[in-house]
Amino acid sequence: MLIYIHTKGMLREGEKVMARNKHPEETVNLILDVAFRLFIEKGYEHTSIQDIIDNLGGLSKGAIYHHFKSKEDILVAVTDRMTAESNQMLTIIRDRSDLSGKEKLKTIFKESINRSVQNDIFTVAPDFHNNPKLLFSLLHDTIEEAAPNYILPIINQGISDGSIKTDYPKQLAELILLAANVWMNPMIFDSSEEESYFKFMIFSQMLQGFGLDIVDSEMLERLQELTSIYQKNK
């Protein structure tokens, strides 16, 4: 399950940016909208603070640094948007009453990896090794937010309804997310399509040991597609 970015309201190429008379929240959103568009067009590593300023329609460098200390902080703020959107999806699936725990986990994996916005994430292609704040944010959100608030309740339900077998639900929730969001993420470990395939197969075998046959060949093909996008844009 790979994280994805909230793109609602993002600026399209050619749209005019007006920066006058903005409230602080609107200014922040404007900076993030423009930055995200540039990250998509040029890649995060190839976008400078000056590039962002040049596309803000009159905002000064001082206005940007009033809200963000660095380009990395802007990227972290963009990932905060993606986390909020991801949480909405997780909440909806977690709270469904028509699915078993196992079915909910499979739905989360399928919904997450198949969203078209994943293509944008892998096009931006940030280098996690050179952006420790982003990596820390991902790890923190995985262990402190997503695992206990969304995946753990689903696993506990699965134990109750008999669809999931484990004596260690908390640790399983963390393991699943760390493997999916970190270990299998080619933006963190620079994996080829072949390496992504091997990791996916081991991940699948691990899940089956808990009675979780929740990943399939369609998800594998999608992961390899995303890996290819990243390799072309890094």
Tell me what the pLDDT averaged over the chain comes to. 83
- Four-way CATH pick for 75-233: 1.10.357, 3.30.70, 2.60.40, 3.30.43: 1.10.357
Q: What is the rounded CA–CA span in Å between residue 114 and residue 176?
A: 18
Structure tokens at 75: 């990227």
Least confident interval from 46-60, 127-141, 151-165: 127-141
Q: How confident is the model at residue 151 (pLDDT cuts 50, 70, 90)?
A: very high
Is the pLDDT confidence value at 17 over 70? no
Dmax (CA) of the chain: 59
Residues 6+ apart with CB under 8 A from 120: 5, 7, 40
What pLDDT is attached to residue 137? 78
What pLDDT is attached to residue 198? 93
Q: Which residue has the higher pLDDT, 196 or 8?
A: 196
Neighbours of 13 (CB within 10 A): 7
Average pLDDT over residues 14-33: 67
Return the ∠ at Cα 133 (arms to 175 and 193), rounded to 5°. 55
Contact yes or no for 6/85 (Cβ under 8 A): yes
pTM summary value: 0.76
What pLDDT is attached to residue 78? 79
What pLDDT is attached to residue 44? 84
Where do the structural domains in the chain lie, given as residue ranges?
Answer: 75-233
What pLDDT is attached to residue 15? 41
Is the pLDDT confidence value at 204 over 50? yes
Is the pLDDT confidence value at 5 over 50? no
Q: Which residue has the higher pLDDT, 159 or 58?
A: 159
Average pLDDT over residues 207-214: 91
What pLDDT is attached to residue 82? 64
Average pLDDT over residues 178-190: 89
Is the pLDDT confidence value at 153 over 70? yes
Average pLDDT over residues 69-95: 83
Average pLDDT over residues 4-11: 36
**Tokens 């959100």 sit at which residue?**
141
Is the pLDDT confidence value at 11 over 50? no
Q: How confident is the model at residue 103 (pLDDT cuts 50, 70, 90)?
A: very high
What pLDDT is attached to residue 7? 33
HEC profile for the chain?
Answer: CCCCCCCCCCCCCCCCCCCCCCCHHHHHHHHHHHHHHHHHHHCHHHCCHHHHHHCCCCCCHHHHHHHCCCHHHHHHHHHHHHHHHHHHHHHHHHCCCCCCHHHHHHHHHHHHHHCCHHHHHHHHCCCHHHCHHHHHHHHHHHHHHHHHHHHHHHHHHHHHHCCCCCCCHHHHHHHHHHHHHHHCCCCCCCCCHHHHHHHHHHHHHHHHCCCCCCCCHHHHHHHHHHHHHHHHHC
The residue among 137, 132, 232, 150 whose CA lies nearest residue 186 is 232
Is the pLDDT confidence value at 16 over 50? no
Neighbours of 21 (CB within 10 A): 6
Q: How confident is the model at residue 9 (pLDDT cuts 50, 70, 90)?
A: very low
